[in-house]
Structure formats: C-alpha cells, structure tokens
Structure 1
Amino acid sequence: MKTIIALATTTLLVNSALMQPAVAQRRTGNQYSVMGENEFQVEVQFSLFDKNNDGTTITNSAIDKPNSGIFKGAIENYKSIRADACRASDASIFPCNSGNLVGKYFFDDSGFLLLKNVDTTPLIVGNGDLYTQFIPNDPLFGGRDSIGYSIFKSGETATTLSSYRLDFLILGIDKDKAINDLSYILQQNLFTKSRVFKTDFNNVRIALGDILLQNRFEEDIKNIPEPQAITGVFVLGAFGIMSFVKRNKKRATKL
C-alpha cells in the first residue's frame, strides 16, 4: 500500500511540475503615420507586427517565390485618419511645444511624431495582409531595382489599400530579408525608409508624403501549456499504478 501511495505521489509531482502557470511573452509592433502630399496632414495610420495575437510568428506564405512575399495578418488597425503633424511653425502650440523639432516635424522624447487637430472619428478599415515584391529596373528610381510593399484588406486582393516603394540599393538594405523576413522589415523600420506609391489616372508616380513612425509598443502574449502532453502524463501514471496493483494481486494469489 505504501508503494502505491508513493507511485501516486510521484505522478502528481510530475504533473504539477508540467502544469506551470502560463509564461507571459510579448510581441512588438510599430505604428506608422502616412503623410499626405501637402506634407503636414496625416491620411493613414496602421500597425505592423511580426507575430499574431496568440504569439505565433507570421511567416511568408509565398516561400516558393523568392522575389515576393505574403504575410497574412501582419497589418493591424489600418485606418484613414485626418490629423495635422506638428511642424516648425507650430512651436508655440500644444502639444507641439512639448516635443523636439527634427527636420520638418516635432517628435516626442521617444522619437514619435506629435499630432494636433486629430479626427476623433477615423474610418476604421481593420486588419490587413502585407505583400512584398522585387521590382527590377524600376523607372520610378531611375531604373534601379526596388522593392514594393502593398497592403490589402485581410483575405482580399482586389483592392490595394496603399502601396510603397523602397529604394533598397541606395540605402544599402538586404534585398532578400527586405522581401522575405518580416522581423527584419519591422526591426529595420523599413516603412519609414519607403516612399508612397500612387497611381492617378494611369499616371504611376512616387508621392511626396513621408511615412513616419508614430509609435512603437509591446503587447502581452500568454502561452498556454499543451493539454495533450499533460493528459498523457496523467494516463501514463494511472496505467503504471494499475499495472503495479495487478502484479501484486497475482503474487498474493500464488502465495
């Protein structure tokens, strides 16, 4: 009997060790503000992530095509917005006067763009997919190769929400990673180094608006222990105890 109790206790201890509380992990994301061609009004905002809400890494769905990439769910909270960026002429206006003037715009101490006159009722489009593509001999960059970034609404490819071009050769950026590695795109902040790409009445051109980093943030992710693994240990422990009891019964019968 003492041996049975010992076996049961051991099984419970092993299970308790496996059933540790969920370990909190974090995912990082960048929020961007896309300027209009007047170069002071923000027209679009979106966030870029390299992990889903459950912590799974967003991978390239077009791995069979080395010169293009599809990252489903990489874009979150895409919205059309109207807000004015804080510029040099706004030095006496709050919140602009609380920041630091860098180039044309005021940024806060964390390096994020300061906004004023923010529209409180933006048009929320939702989440989207990021498509990447190598573009050889791009006429928009004097015939140099470039990389195109396009954002589509999740699960849809009929209408492009917005498009950008990256002059990676001039900037010394790794072409393959800028196409196939979402973490690289996020960590190297490649959207702020890209240009807005527009088509107006069949006139393809690079727009004047900048893409500025609006925010960088982290969110908690909870990893839940695998229930199948824990159940398996319980079953194995139960079978072990049952087998031990049967063997002892047989010995007692023989005696």
Structure 2
Amino acid sequence: MKVIQFLAAMTLATVPVMSGFMQSAYGRETGETYDQGTSPTVRTEFNLFDEDRGGNLILDLKPENDNVGVFFGAIENYQIGFGRLLVDEKGKVVRDSSGFALFEIPFTPEEKLFDVGNLQAELIPTYDGLEIIEYTISGTKKDGSLAQINQRIFDPCNCNFDKKRAVNDLSYILEKSLLDGTIATAAGPRVPQDIVGGILYKTGVAVRRTTVPEPSVSVPEPSATLGALAVLSAGLLLKRKMK
C-alpha cells in the first residue's frame, strides 16, 4: 500500500511540473497604450510593442542609417473614438505614480483603422540648429497609409536620452516612453484632424499573449507519464506477491 501511495504522490507532483513546461510555451508580452487628441479630449488610441507576436524583437529595418529607423509591426489596434483625460484645476493632465495619464471618461473606440501597423522614426535638422525626431505611424499596405505624425524636439543641451537609440532602437523608445509628450503635426485622411497640435499621452500598459518556441527539453505527455507510473506500480506489486 505504501508503494501505491508513493507512486500516487509522484504522479500528482509530476503533473504540475509538466503543466508548467507546457505553459512556458507562451510568453506574456507588454507594451504601452497611447491616446492622442487635443487635451483633455482624446480621439485616437493605439498600442506600441517592441516584440512581434512570435516573441521576437522588432528590429530596425534600416540599421545602416543613423537618421532613420523603420519598425514593421510595432503598432497595434489603432482606433478612432472618444475619451476625456482627467485634468486638475489648472487644466494640466493628471498622471498616476507610474506616469500614466488618467481618464475622466474612458476611451470608447468607434472604428479600428488597422490591427497591425508600422512606426518610422526620423531625425530631422531644423534651421535654428536644433533637431526634431519625427515619429510616423502608418498602417500596412492592406490597411491604409498614414495615420499620424508626431514630433519631439531634440535639444543637445537639455536632453536625457540617447539621440541615436531614440531613432534606431525600438526597445529603447518603449523603455523611455519617447512617444509620450510628442506633438501631433499631421493626421491621415481617415483620422480626426483635430488631433493636430495635440499632445500624445501614454495611458496604460498593453498586454497580449504571444506564442514563442517550445522549450528544448523533451517533456512526455501527461497520459504517457501516468501510464508509465501505472506500469511501474503494477510491476512492484507483482514483485512483492512473488516474494
């Protein structure tokens, strides 16, 4: 009886371990959610990720060019709708302890322009000696063209981020939330034009499931393991009877 109890305990202990291996075939990917409008009203919303749905980093398609970065698949769920950010008595948008802008009226989507889109970053010199980093969001060829263009002024004397990485490194752009606070300078034909001149705010963490390659360790199926333990149990019992 003790042998059976021992094997039963092994079986129960083995199943969770195998379950853990099976669940590890899925990775949870996080990004950021951004809302655009003329504060405090917001009219568009999208998610920014630095990994594709396969769990692979989205790399710059033009790594040889320090002034231009192109990231296919970085934008997801670009939607048009309506929401209202929370502002204080001075009209300043209120943020939580993590730096996310808070809503007074949550964003309600009315139309999705595309599921997956692209982000382009470009460093542009200005006539007064400063530089502008321009972030362009667009859909794929199937979904449409330009969605919006946002700009951030790069002042070498007053800057706390790496200019090159702000253009060519998507993970850095996401880590530093470099789209947060940028100004919309253009909007596509299907996008509300009143977002132009407004500030882009990060409003939350975007989370989605991604499928990643299964672990290299070979893990037997639960049914096969249980069957093997059952055979081992029967063999040990038979051995005891023969004695």
Partners of 1:156 and 1:69 lie apart in 2 by 22
CA 1:108–1:173: 2 relative to 1, 3 Å? closer
Contact 1:22 1:223 in 2 (8 A): no
Query: CA offsets, 1:15-37, max 9 Å, x none?
Result: xx9xx53524332200011122x
Partners of 2:95 and 2:65 lie apart in 1 by 39
Amino acid paired to 1:185: I
Partners of 1:186 and 1:30 lie apart in 2 by 7
Partners of 1:51 and 1:130 lie apart in 2 by 13
Tell me the SS of whatever aligns to 1:186: helix
The CA deviation at 1:85 is 1.4
Match status 1:148 vs 2:149 = no
The CA deviation at 1:165 is 1.2
Match status 1:190 vs 2:178 = yes
CA RMSD of aligned residues (A): 3.2
Partners of 1:65 and 1:131 lie apart in 2 by 12
The CA deviation at 1:217 is 3.7
State, as a whole percentage, how many aligned pairs show the same letter: 27
Larger-gyration structure (1/2)? 1
Please, which runs of 5 or more residues in structure 1 have no aligned partner?
1-16, 90-100, 200-205, 231-255
Structure 1 match to 2:22 = 21
Contact 1:151 1:162 in 2 (8 A): yes
Contact 1:168 1:174 in 2 (8 A): no
Stretch moving more, 207-216 or 175-184: 207-216
Query: CA offsets, 1:140-183, max 9 Å, x none?
Result: xx441121110011237983210011212232321110111000
Partners of 1:167 and 1:217 lie apart in 2 by 26
CA 1:117–1:168: 2 relative to 1, 3 Å? same
CA 1:31–1:193: 2 relative to 1, 3 Å? same
Number of equivalences: 190
Which residue of the other structure, out of 209, 213, 216, is the alignment partner of 2:205? Answer: 216
Partners of 1:56 and 1:32 lie apart in 2 by 22
Structure 2 match to 1:45 = 45
Query: CA offsets, 1:158-215, max 9 Å, x none?
Result: 832100112122323211101110000000000114222238xxxxxx9542211110
Partners of 2:180 and 2:86 lie apart in 1 by 17
